[in-house]
Amino acid sequence: MQECKNMFIMKNTIAEVDIFRIHDDVVWRNLDGEGVLLNLENNFYYSLNDTGTLIYEQIKEGRSVHQILEYFFKVFSGEVAAETLKKDVFEVLADLLKEGLIERIVSAKKASEN
């Protein structure tokens, strides 16, 4: 049972080398800085705050987690501690992944195999 639990944790761990993409079944719009998403697979609507919207836009541009973090460090330099930014970005990515709004296209495992 412990091995199965560890596999689940590894599968859902996000690394800086990971790259995500918007799931094919998700329609997305930026309405005055607020991200509005519709998952066509389950017909659920989602709303993102400014931070979530910025992260989603970075994903749409094909940026890696590392590049997204660098963007946030630059934009919010001096306003928010780097560790807080990193924690927030990882939490948003984990939530988006859990809800099926994004999918991983490059993972730490694939990157280490190259």
Q: For the chain, what percent of residues have pLDDT higher than 70? A: 83
Domain ranges in the chain are 2-104
Contact (CB, 8 A) for 64 and 18: yes
Does domain 2-104 match CATH 3.90.930.60? Answer: yes
pLDDT at 107: 78
pLDDT at 88: 95
Model confidence at 72: pLDDT above 90 = yes
List the structure tokens of 64: 């890696």
Dihedral sign of CA atoms 81, 87, 91, 94 in order: positive
Model confidence at 70: pLDDT above 60 = yes
Write down the pTM of the prediction: 0.82
* SS3 of residue 98 by DSSP: helix
Of the pLDDT bands very low, low, confident and very high (cuts 50, 70, 90), residue 114 is low
The whole-angstrom separation of Cα 30 and Cα 93 is 18
Chain-centre distance for alpha carbon 51: 11
Model confidence at 102: pLDDT above 80 = yes
